[in-house]
């Protein structure tokens, strides 16, 4: 069973991210990823970048289910989290 920290490390190995949050129960994980690498990419392309990078982990069933809740650029994340 994977920990949220292990999933976070897997994501970090795929894309340089300014911020990664992972929640999950060991089987299903939900990630919020903030990365400059998403600049100029559509939502689907952002998700594909992560999923393609983790394809071997998903195919081997090491990483069973990952939902990308957020794939934002730093500017988008900042705008969404202003108070």
Q: DSSP for the chain, please give it.
A: ---HHHHHHHHHHHS--SEEEEEESSSEEEEEEE-GGGTT--HHHHHHHHHHHTHHHHHTTSS-EEEEEEEE-HHHHHHHT--
Per-residue pLDDT of the chain (83 residues; tens, 9 = 90+): 899 999 999 999 999 999 999 999 988 999 999 999 999 999 999 999 999 999 999 999 999 899 999 999 999 999 998 86
**Which pLDDT score is estimated for 66?**
95
- Residue 14 counted as domain residue: yes
The pLDDT value recorded for residue 49 is 97
23 lies in a domain? yes
In a domain, 83, yes or no: no
Asked, for residue 51, whether it belongs to a domain, the answer is yes
Structural domain tally of the chain?
1
What's this model's pTM, rounded to 2 decimal places?
Answer: 0.93
* Domain membership of residue 34 as a residue range: 4-77
* CATH number of the structural domain spanning residue 20: 3.30.300.90
């Amino acid at each position: 069973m994977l920990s949220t920290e292990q999933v976070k490390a897997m994501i970090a190995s795929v894309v340089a991210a300014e911020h990664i949050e992972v929640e999950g129960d060991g089987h299903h994980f939900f990630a919020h990823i903030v990365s400059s690498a998403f600049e100029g990419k559509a939502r689907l392309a952002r998700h594909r970048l992560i999923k393609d990078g983790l394809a071997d982990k998903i195919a081997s069933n090491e990483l069973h289910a990952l939902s990308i809740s957020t794939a934002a650029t730093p500017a988008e994340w900042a705008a969404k989290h202003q108070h």
